[in-house]
Amino acid sequence: MNFTIANTLLKSRLFLGTAQYPSLEIMQQAIVASGANVITTSVRRQSPNQQSGESFWDYLKNLNCHILPNTAHCYDAKTAITTAHMAREIFNTHWIKLEVIGDEYNLQPNPFELVIAAEKLIQDGFEVFPYCTDDLILCQKLWDLGCRILMPWGSPIGTGQGLINPFALRTLRERLPEATLIVDAGIGKPSHATQALEMGFDAVLVNTAVASAGDPIMMAKAFSNAVSAGRLAYEAGLMPARDLAKPSTPVVGTPFWHQQEEISHE
């Protein structure tokens, strides 16, 4: 299941968030159980240079994962850009999950501010992972600006509704074949992750579905298996869906077939 993203070899196509877990210990165990190599964290909520974030940061360092800081709770390009620069200094990484929220109700990204922020951060040397909708024109614009990794939502953050617009997601995969596509937001159960990987998406980012599960550690293992199954299915090649039934057992060579055919003609 190895794949390369931003010139970095990863062993897992599952990215995990670090919010909402019952405890830091359960968060740590769930991440280990998932096999994830990339974990996301909010700069504005958990800063390791502040006393309140020291314990949290210690847990993250012990995981030996790549940190993907995000600009959560930013509502304009200027704030997101400032937060991204803080993240680069704090976490010592040029990776940034760029979030610029436009609507507080469904946490939908603001496409206009997102494009402005992405362009500036790319100029500043960041590897930008933009959280975006599944709109083809927006994703094409971000790609043209230099975003080689795109993170379209499956459905609004934290809803667990899964991939509510498979057509749009399939279109992105077909029209942006060279882009690294990661489904971000809305995944509620392992089968949603499998579906995304079966469609050819490179990875998924999951947080609430694991952190809010009855047993986050077990759920993390379930998502790990789901991602592996989805990728293997995609590489194997899925059978096409059909409108009509087709027998799985051939009739040629079936015992008594010819006798039955003769009887039917009498």
Q: For residue range 167-198, what is the model confidence (pLDDT) as tens digits?
A: 999 999 999 999 999 999 999 999 999 999 99
- Residue 205 sits in which domain range? 3-265
Alpha-carbon distances, residue 155 vs 13, 23, 34, 165, 186 (angstroms): 19, 27, 22, 8, 4
69-78 mean pLDDT: 94
Q: Which residue has the tokens 């749009």?
A: 168
How many domains does one find in the chain? Answer: 1
At residue 45 the predicted structure's pLDDT band, cuts being 50, 70 and 90, is low
Helices and strands (H and E) in the chain: how many: 10, 10
Q: For residue range 27-40, what is the model confidence (pLDDT) as tens digits?
A: 999 999 999 999 99
Phi and psi at 214, nearest 5°, equal -60, -35
State the Cα–Cα distance between residues 18 and 26, nearest whole angstrom: 10
Phi and psi at 247, nearest 5°, equal -60, 135
pLDDT above 70 for 205 = yes
pTM for the structure as a whole = 0.86
CATH number of the domain encompassing residue 248: 3.20.20.70
Residue 161: Cβ-neighbour burial (10 angstroms; 0-12, 13-18, 19+): middle
| Per-residue confidence (pLDDT) for residue 254, from 0 to 100 | 61
Question: What single letter denotes the amino acid at residue 160?
Answer: G
Specify the range with the lowest mean pLDDT, choosing from 6-10, 29-33, 62-66, 137-141.
62-66
Q: Count CB atoms within 10 A of the CB of residue 206.
A: 29
At residue 104 the predicted structure's pLDDT band, cuts being 50, 70 and 90, is confident
Tokens representing 141 are 């614009």
Phi and psi at 140, nearest 5°, equal -65, -40
Q: For residue range 63-72, what is the model confidence (pLDDT) as tens digits?
A: 889 999 999 9
Residue 166: Cβ-neighbour burial (10 angstroms; 0-12, 13-18, 19+): middle
246 assigned to active site: no
* CA angle at 71 for the pair 127 and 157, rounded to the nearest 5°: 110
pLDDT above 60 for 261 = no
| Active-site annotation holder among 11, 61, 78, 97 | 97
For 229, the 3-state DSSP assignment is helix
Q: For residue range 209-230, what is the model confidence (pLDDT) as tens digits?
A: 999 999 999 999 999 999 999 9
Tokens representing 155 are 């459905």
